[in-house]
Amino acid sequence: MNVVTCIADLRDRARKRLPRSIFEYADRGSYDEVTLGRNRSDLDALQFRQRVAIDLSQLSVATTVLGEPWTMPVAIAPTGMAGLFHRNGEICGARAAERFGVPFSLSTMSICSIEDVAGAVRKPFWFQLYMMKDRGFSEELMGRARTAGCSALILTLDLVVQGLRRRDPKNGLSVPPRLTLRNAWDIAIRPAWALGVLSGKRLGFGNLESRLKEIGGLKTMAQWTASQFDASITWKDIEWLRARWPGKLIVKGILDAEDARLAAAHGVDALVVSNHGGRQLDGAPSTIAVLPEVVDAVAGRCEVLFDGGVQCGQDVLKALARGARACLIGKSFLYALAANGEAGVLQALEIIRQELQVSMALAGCTDVRNVSTSVLRS
């Protein structure tokens, strides 16, 4: 078996172990995947300044975000359907994050429920919410998150309508996975994945079971989005949410300086510069390109987090240099989860930490809290 030395190795294992429909749900983007490509190419284009003859005997990647100590400035992003990438995938991710000392974010569209995850860990995790047309159901989800002890609520704003992800319908993506003539062989040659997922706690969306019974179930993610997500949401709804959520409030999907100013003005504790991993508005800029203007726009009124293509410690260092407080990993998390469950996620986090440490050292930076634009070539 090949030795894993980077996130790309975990991605390769995930590709081999997963049916195409599941793998490409995480791996690919929307429309022509222009924004997906920009996320990667724009990060690659940034260059470090190599520095020498600096005392590196004391080097730290520990930080504090939203008042919480993190062992490094990386958290696990909310990712839908993680439980289809590995048996009880959300529980695996939460346990790995707890062991490593970073936050785990649970998606509304998770396979394991809020209660499933809460029963498996001791440290509070974050919960991600989509605003529903039925505000009563949104309040119910928030209430469950409060009962579970979730320390932060992430409101995702960039998926009120779903971008056209052309590969999903071609691959026959469904929840729970269905055996069809088109995908029978793809599943049959992956018995370990199939048996693992089938033996998990759930096969459908654990947080939505009661709601799905009311509306008679769903066939696709796009169907649920169109019928349940509220496309009329405005900043007044963030005020409504802020009044009802007592913990930290984070908004995700900010890609414009004006929206960043509005978010800060509405009392959020943090925002996430995100284009949904290149899976929503194709033709939008990369997240690393807009990060500095977002940081300038909020002017310290809230913390700025970053996602979009983070696959190594050097990506983290580049985002910090451009003003982010910390990064979230989504695709990288799912690759690691599919590759080897909880152990794979721990391995991915450790790879990123080691890469971050080495990159900081060679750039002459000894404390991750003090990273600035000075580590980059202008």
Provide the annotated active-site residues.
276
CA separation for the pair 295, 292 (Å, rounded): 5
**First and final C-alpha spacing in the chain:** 42
Phi, psi of 59, rounded to the nearest 5 degrees: -130, 130
| Residue 273, strand partner residues | 254, 306
Which residues, in sequence order, are CB contacts of 118 under 8 Å at separation 6+?
A: 125, 148, 149
Residues 176/221, Cβ–Cβ less than 8 Å: no
CA angle 137, 280, 29 (to 5 degrees): 125
Conformational region of residue 318, where left means phi above 0, alpha means psi within -120 to 50, and beta covers everything else: alpha
